[in-house]
């Protein structure tokens, strides 16, 4: 690891993450786990292209602080013991692993379709939690959201679901809302310039059994003027059995 990360880079990561957490009003309980995850991510990024975001400052801001923005939400601030949290399209482990590091009582599931990335996530979960003696409950689920969302063991079985993706909210809602239990919530992590996208997604959200509970714009780092929008969608009724459709239909004919 020494050849990939200097002491200065690790220090910059830690300082930037602490500043971002402070901006969000979060007191980090386990900064050492975030630092270790950053080291593991940097090491693996040399073997497979996990992320184009590199360096301590950028990683701390654009991956870690961004992920921890979820912890500002009331649904994640109390009564998390035994609750299930699904990260759809986890990729390199964001936001699921940073959330798990801070909330060990939460049952976190990382859903990722690519086998190589699943192997990386499993290795991270072992090193960060099992091997270190932490009690965080993290499971890696390898598969496609539009397929697993139709299976009884996963359908409407999660209290909290999130996705940190570039897909528009109509498509994202069809991939994610089938996993959300009635009474649970879906956190869509979006940029702050998505008013038109939100208007276009109203029908899809309603058809899939959801209702927008609130829209929250958060400042992630006062120094960098970095912001994140969280669209919080409550699941009010079950999703019709015909959804989710095949990915081709979701992509070409969004609701």
Q: Is the pLDDT reported for residue 92 higher than 90?
A: yes
Residues 6+ away with beta carbon under 8 Å from 3? none
Tell me: the pLDDT tens digits for 124-178? 999 998 766 666 789 999 999 999 999 999 999 999 999 997 789 999 999 999 9
User: How many other β-carbons are positioned within 10 Å of the β-carbon of residue 51?
Assistant: 17
pLDDT per position as a tens digit, 209-236: 999 999 999 999 877 778 999 999 999 9
Indicate whether 34 pLDDT > 80. Answer: yes
- Report percent pLDDT > 90 for the chain: 83
Decide: 202 and 237 in contact? Cβ < 8 Å.
no
- Stated pTM of the model: 0.95
State the pLDDT at residue 107: 94
pLDDT at 208 over 60: yes
What's the rounded mean pLDDT across residues 52-68?
A: 94
pLDDT for the residue 2: 41
The per-residue pLDDT for 135 is 66
Average pLDDT, stretch 180-202? 95
3-state secondary structure 170-208: HHHHHHHHHHEEEEEEEEEEECCCCHHHHHHCHHHHHHC
Which residue did the predictor score with more confidence, 66 or 137?
66
Q: What is the pLDDT of residue 147?
A: 97
Structure tokens at 179: 């996993």
> Looking at the predicted structure, is the pLDDT value of residue 194 above 80?
yes
Domains of the chain by start residue, with CATH:
61-252 (3.40.50.150)
């Amino acid at each position: 690891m020494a050849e990939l990360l200097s002491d200065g880079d690790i220090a910059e990561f830690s300082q930037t993450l602490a500043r971002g957490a402070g901006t969000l009003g979060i007191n980090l309980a386990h900064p050492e786990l975030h630092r270790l995850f950053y080291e593991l991510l940097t090491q693996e990024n040399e073997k497979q292209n996990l992320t184009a975001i590199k360096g301590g400052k950028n990683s701390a801001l654009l991956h870690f602080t961004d992920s921890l923005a979820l912890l500002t939400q009331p649904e994640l601030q109390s009564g998390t013991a035994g609750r299930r949290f699904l990260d759809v399209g986890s990729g390199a482990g964001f936001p699921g692993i940073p959330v798990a590091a801070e909330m060990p009582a939460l049952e976190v599931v990382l859903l990722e379709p690519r086998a190589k990335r699943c192997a990386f996530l499993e290795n991270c979960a072992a090193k960060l939690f099992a091997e270190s003696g932490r009690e965080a409950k993290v499971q890696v689920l390898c598969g496609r959201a539009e397929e697993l969302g139709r299976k009884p063991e996963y359908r409407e079985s999660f209290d909290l679901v999130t996705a940190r993706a570039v897909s528009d909210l109509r498509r994202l809602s069809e991939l994610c809302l089938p996993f959300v239990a009635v009474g649970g919530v879906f956190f869509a992590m979006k940029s702050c310039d998505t008013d038109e996208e939100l208007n276009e997604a109203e029908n899809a959200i309603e058809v899939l059994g959801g209702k927008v509970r609130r829209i929250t714009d958060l400042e992630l780092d006062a120094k960098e003027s970095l912001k994140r929008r969280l669209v919080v969608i409550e699941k009010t009724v079950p999703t019709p059995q015909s959804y989710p459709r095949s990915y081709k239909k979701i992509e070409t004919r969004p609701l």
